Structure 1
């Protein structure tokens, strides 16, 4: 029996926090659940971290789990203004491909940690859970079927540093933390500020990017501060499509008709971070953001038909065919506010958290070619919107308790959390879905529309401390109850033993879970997909059905259940000198009942009639299912060395390497109804996309030189081999490893100004082109694969001018 829990009411929660503040007598600063805020971070192994620990003074050097700390300098070290792109270049365990022609996935591109699904990484901001995007990745990209956090909605201007926990942490943070945790720490304080303008351009002459960003702080009375970060950018599209050889292109035959590359994008974002000391014992804090990102992405080019009932309409509007544009607006908003302090030695933090992402889609430069359509001259359609919201209320307490038999205090942390989530689909205008709907993207229909919600409550306990001078350990346990599928529990144990001050071994074991998202349970739409049939890209009406719908049930769907994970890791830390630090961490992640998006089930005439009886008129269908068990094995290696040079100069060297191997250990039995109709729920392509679609290896070598006002940086990255799988073995394409060189240099002028010149992909490396076997390259038009980990845009030049105060 599920427990009903209403959505947290912000006004009531704030009143409760105010009353709590009036009776609690002490003061502390905390950055997350029971954890003090970290100082400005760097790559220094002595840096105090707050992610994955409740201890006050846990450093990267003595952490029981691997934590990467990425400072502001590293964040600004590339020409990209997208957070996910920056992380993909700085972290060997992070993969951020750049899909094109994948509908909404072009606008909200997913990132992978350790080769797992994008929604199996938990994202925090200042230690608080970040809401997910409303977009579901339902096309043939990496991360297919996921609805993760939109990392690119967080501007670089607002970030002080980032902590990346590369370990399972569901027992500490709850659902989604299977692959790890990305904790984004915002800039804080009233002092200082910075402003920067940057411009970049690709070697091919397209993709121009202009970015304005800045951050500054102000005093809030005598006892507080508020910090504001603003960022705005204009990014033109890139295009690496080949010429169109098809006669149906009319006068445009032999010219480039398709757009293959990054979409046009215009993000505008405001972030605010603040704190105020109410009295000597209590702090109030709040941080919030509001942002809009307008994106224009291209669908597949529609050629002019030569012998078709739609010839007259097509020749009237678009004599040579047309390129539909999916023009979206992603609106992102959040507010976190709370109080924190001490009570009789117990550190406490009580907060409320609201987050929402809304994705609105218009289809332009298009037409509805359905027979009987009443407005054949209409070329723009409102296709509908998606909205994902999250409300969280939590309270966390922690205390360091002296224990006689331990060399240090025992940190005891307790907490409780209540979370409410909703997911809503809003229908588009009737013309967008009439008949076959608008070309490029058929709008959401009234039968697709609706709002669904759920709630969950959780409690946790953490114990952590130094058992002896050499041995430290921690235990974590968490219990959660969801209104839609019941209860789940998870635990984690960690140990670290220092054989000498320079060498230590560490190990963790945990079990965890990921709750099926509301988007995976309720996303539904009917749209036109292109499927290669007999070597030809063929449009087919495809229905995505909610698992509990009559149409999905008719095809064998079952209710989704949580993914269950087991994480094991073993690592070594070696620091022979203060300037040289090395870590090696082996890991294994087993996931049972992993949620995947089914194959595109091409329906026979009989099955089409079966679904038509359920009100679904489609030629293909798909839905989400707990269909596979997977195992991920790998190793992370990180080595950093600081070389002191004459005249105060220094060079920082970093070697980072990740090897990752994924295998599918079990595929659920094919539903009998599908088997009887010669259909596979989970096809070869779905399985192999999980195992070989992302690079197995990634190596990064960087050198950062500083002397007086000068700085230079060089990074060489090797992206390992990967395979783009198909259902026909002969059509698989395996891509060779690719080496990419990034260079930048900067000079500080008049103490406050800094000018930077840089080249990303200085050697202008491209991945191999898509094979013509099976016409997967669409007659040579679709030249490059969206699986390529470094994209396929080529060399990028950029210049930045910044001012600090």
Structure 2
């Protein structure tokens, strides 16, 4: 047979090979080396004068008590948690590091009741960049700041059925806990103060300024028994031939009868984390802090045994010896390197020059869906076009290898200008995600020409933000305090899609034989998907903050912002606090908010091609303003608009006890959502009328729904008086959250089509816990200490297809994930003051979400045989890895 040549980079079974991959990886390695060298050189340069100066007293921010000044919630400095008119949680650095996980998202999930972080699997790039949410809203509806400056989002847009489908988010796991002094979580709408995305609230990460040297080495692994998943002891046979338990629609779909043993034990996910922070004094009152973390995490696998027939020939003896735990379902393999710099020094008597930045690398490998030996996606047409010959004799597990590079840098100067506190800064951040599809196969090329590893292209997002902030307090007769703040912001954003190597997406000569084109599990981006788009925005804001009396506080803010792609928006906020009796205060706020549609939502496109009856059919994700989108009724996206109403009470009845309870009601208009695959005769007719052929299914982003999210946050803390048994701190947090869709959009051109089906609708309304409860006890007595936390995750619904009118619980295949308690325990010992030895267990009682019913015609209507080997839903709010044991050695000098 004549070889099918694709030019440079196609090297048969070993390609695209080695040549193009070496170029890609060589450029990536060189770029990483250059950036790391620059950061190292900068650190050395800044360190040199540090040793030449007298060391000042240790600064400041880390040393303050809990009632200290906060920097989130008002642009005018001086507010504390106690007198803030809006709810703010403050989480200290010690709480972040006294945990088994080194993932900032996981730690915040366990400490903040309205913060959720599910850990989905089999979701392509989302396996490596998992999104988190605040108050049950989308990941991109919460704003993340670092040192009060806007953090850039990840390049990835989540498309594959996880919580947060259709959104991009800030990757908080790029920020290691050791670099953090504290986290301030503003649980209130703040678009009028901070701009786009601050609908659900603001997460402000304050980097450490501490001098000295501290670090840790942590090792942990999962030691777990999988609930409801049993060992496979062999295939049952009848006359020496595997017994068919459930005949499928065709022979390849047969479900075989297996013999089962005890529940499966797993010892995996070995994770080594090393972290180091070095803080040096610089001049009089300056600081230079370098923080770094390295994490090497092995994969976990929580799949069950696959009982389906694996081989093409009925009765193939290999069925009896095949390892049926063939799927990969759990955490992927990841290696992370993260470096942070935080520095400041006084310049003259009135100014401070500051800089902070980060550089991170994450190499992650996530599994796809296992292709059986008898799968059409494993057929080698180059070997035979008449007889089924598998390319991989025993099937294959394709994987997605993600290379993520994250860079950020900020420089600014602040100080007194004419009696005003002035702050001028420029911040740049970028996130690049390059995909490779590995251990895979392009069926349409045939076994001779298809590589097993493909460059599938990549995504990149960049953001530059410049801010000028001014604030001042005035003495105004009759007022206890009066301050104003105003400023301006410029922001530029850029989004890119890089196409992959042709072997990753092309349809080869065996398309005519019914072969699927492109690399299995993740076809590469095509040249027509390539995009390089930018936009600008300009904003001006003003804020007034006044203590009308010692008992009454009033805050008002307004913001005007203009975006080059969708226009202008004006937003405002009024908040107040009244304390008629010392220790009892009521507070409330009314604000409007907005979120600009992201560049990814406006310009992302990808194509998957299926062969249907010998005809090549493109199923596409397109921009709403593309030719396909416009033909189907798509149009320029509008900004989401929000109305936030909140009210609550803050109690400090006795020393050491604080209780707050806050109600919130968030109405969002024109939420940006990704439609279902729009298909059918009406779709084809519209596309054909527009001169577009070969496409029968498409999806794009629309302003698809209006929603209402309401709930209650209750947070309490109590530091017990010392009664001789050590220091006890008790904390509790409770969140009730309910989201409803109150209006749905439709396309006038397609009046009979449902834009968002039952599954997508309930992902928004019921895909996250309705309730969540956090309880914790911290205890210290001399050289020993302990922490016990338990979290109760409320009901989550996993729903099947069906009509929207059927609601919950009426369709076969619906599953209610019942509430679960997940508990963590940690024991600490200080042999000397500067060293801590720790043993701990996350999910110490080895709790799993409810198992999915096993499927087919065996009694679980609505569930496919996939439930045998994918036993737990990815919507589990605490994941499905089980008990994690760890030990840590930490030092602090």
**TM-score with structure 1 setting the length:** 0.90
Which runs of structure 2 are paired with 1:701-712 in the superposition (5 Å)? 701-712=775-786
Aligned residue in 1 for 2:369: 300
**Residue number in structure 2 paired with 1:16:** none
Match of 1:445 among 526, 533, 541: 526
1:749 and 2:831 matched: yes
- Once the two structures are superposed, what CA deviation does each residue of 1:33-85 show, in whole Å capped at 9, x if it has no partner? xxxx982277x551211101133321111111100000011111221111111
Cα contact 1:652–1:705 (8 A) shared by 2? yes
In 2, distance between residues paired with 1:647 and 1:662? 47
Give the equivalent residue in structure 2 for 1:119: 140
Could you tell me how far apart the structure 2 residues matched to 1:503 and 1:306 are? 67
Deviation at 1:500, TM superposition (A): 1.1
Paired residue for 1:738, among 820, 825, 830?
Answer: 820
Task: Identify the range of structure 1 (607-616 vs 264-273) with the bigger mean alpha-carbon deviation.
Answer: 607-616
Q: In the alignment, does 2:876 pair up with 1:800?
A: no
> Is the deviation greater in 95-104 or in 592-601?
592-601
| CA drift at 1:308 | 8.4
CA contact (8 A) 1:51 1:127 kept: yes
Counterparts of 1:81 and 1:347 in 2: how far apart (Å)? 36
Partner residue of 2:216 out of 196, 199, 202? 196
Deviation string 1:546-601 (CA, Å, 9 cap, x unpaired) is: 11111112222121000000001001011011211100000100000011111123
Q: In 1, Cα distance between the equivalents of 2:77 and 2:171? A: 30
Within 2, Cα distance between the matches of 1:659 and 1:528? 43
Q: 1:306 & 1:583 partners in 2: Cα distance?
A: 57
Partners in 2 of 1:552 and 1:192 — Cα distance? Answer: 57
Instruction: State the distance in 2 between where 1:265 and 1:739 align.
Output: 28
| Whole-angstrom CA distance in 2 between matches of 1:271 and 1:615 | 50
Q: What's 1:475 paired with?
A: 556
Is the CA contact (8 Å cut-off) linking 2:353 and 2:414 kept in structure 1? Answer: yes
1:60 to 67, 71, 81: 81
1:610 deviates by: 3.3
Q: 1:398 aligns with which of 433, 454, 471?
A: 471
Q: Which moved more, 1:316-325 or 1:261-270?
A: 316-325
C-alpha change, 1:123 and 1:611, in structure 2 (3 Å) is: farther
Structure 1 equivalent of residue 306 of structure 2? 244
Distance (whole Å) between structure 2 residues aligned to residue 795 and residue 246 of structure 1: 29
| Shift in Å, 1:741 | 1.1
Work out which of the residue numbers 565, 569, 572 in structure 2 matches 1:484. 565
**Do the aligned partners of residues 40 and 319 (structure 1) sit closer, same or farther apart at CA in structure 2, a change above 3 Å counting?**
same
Summarize the alignment of residues 129-208 of structure 1 with structure 2, pairs less than 5 Å apart.
129-189=150-210, 191-203=211-223, 204-208=266-270
Distance, in Å, in 1 between the alignment partners of 2:63 and 2:672 is 36
Partner of 2:248: none
Structure 2 counterpart of 1:39, from 55, 61, 79: 61
Please report how far the alpha carbon of residue 344 of structure 1 lies from its aligned counterpart in structure 2 after TM superposition: 2.4
Q: 1:265-285: per-residue Cα shift (whole Å, max 9, x none)?
A: 101011001011121111110
1:362 shift after superposition: 0.3
TM-fit CA distance, 1:639: 1.0
Contact 1:351/1:394 (CA < 8 Å) preserved in 2? yes
C-alpha distance 776-661 of structure 1, shift in aligned 2 (>3 A)? farther
SS at match of 2:85: coil
| Cα displacement (A) at 1:315 | 4.5
Is 1:388–2:464 an aligned residue pair? no
Structure 1 residue 731 displacement after superposition: 2.2
Structure 1 residues 730 and 276: alpha-carbon distance in aligned structure 2, compared to 1, 3 A threshold:
same
Whole-angstrom distance in 1 between the partners of 2:118 and 2:693: 34
Structure 1 distance, partners of 2:824, 2:285, is: 44
Question: Higher mean Cα deviation, 722-731 or 514-523?
Answer: 722-731
Q: For residues 398 and 474 of structure 1, what CA distance do their matches in structure 2 show?
A: 14
Residue 413 (structure 1) aligns with = 485
Whole-Å separation in 1 of the counterparts to 2:611 and 2:371: 11
- The answer to whether the 8 A contact 1:674-1:681 is kept is no
CA distance in 1, matches of 2:715, 2:617: 48
What's the secondary structure of 1:86's corresponding residue?
A: helix
Per-residue CA distance 1:228-249 (angstroms, 9 max, x = gap): 0010010011111111112135
SS in structure 2 opposite 1:73?
A: helix
Q: Secondary structure of 1:644's partner?
A: coil
Compare CA radii of gyration and give the structure with the larger one. Answer: 2
Residues 364, 381 of structure 1: 8 Å contact kept: yes
- State the distance in 1 between where 2:611 and 2:790 align: 37
CA contact under 8 A between 1:543 and 1:616: conserved in structure 2?
Answer: no
Are the counterparts in 1 of residues 222 and 267 from structure 2 also a CA contact under 8 Å? yes
1:762 correspondence with 2:839 = no
Deviation at 1:541, TM superposition (A): 5.7
State the Cα distance separating 1:317 from its structure 2 match.
3.3
Q: CA deviation at 1:725?
A: 2.3
Cα distance change of structure 1 residues 450 and 308 upon mapping to structure 2, 3 Å threshold: closer
Give the 3 Å change call, closer, same or farther, for CA 606–552 of structure 1 in structure 2: closer
Which shows bigger deviation, 240-249 or 314-323? 314-323
Per-residue CA deviations over 1:607-626 (Å, capped at 9, x if unaligned) read 29937976675553211110
Within-5 A mapping of 1:286-685: 286-305=355-374, 310-312=379-381, 315=389, 317-370=391-444, 372=445, 375-408=448-481, 410-435=482-507, 436-527=517-608, 542-603=619-680, 607=684, 610=687, 617-618=694-695, 620-647=697-724, 649-669=726-746, 671-675=747-751, 679-685=753-759
* 501 and 309 in structure 1: CA distance in 2 versus 1, 3 angstrom threshold: closer
Q: 1:761 to 1:265 in 2, by over 3 A?
A: same
CA distance change for structure 1 residues 188 and 80 in 2, over 3 Å: closer, same or farther?
same
Alignment partner, residue 785 of structure 1: 873
**Maintained 8 Å contact 2:297/2:334:** yes
Structure 1, gaps ≥5 residues long:
1-36, 532-538
- TM value normalised by structure 2: 0.82
Asked if structure 1 preserves the Cα contact closer than 8 Å seen for 2:371 and 2:377, the reply is no
Q: Quickly say closer, same or farther: Cα 1:383–1:157, change in 2 above 3 A.
A: same
Q: 1-side partners of 2:448 and 2:83: how far apart?
A: 68
The unaligned stretches of length 5 or more in structure 2 are: 1-58, 224-265, 313-317, 383-387, 508-516, 803-810, 856-860
- CA RMSD for the aligned pairs? 2.2
1:454-480, Cα deviation, whole Å (9 max, x unpaired): 000000000002001110010000000
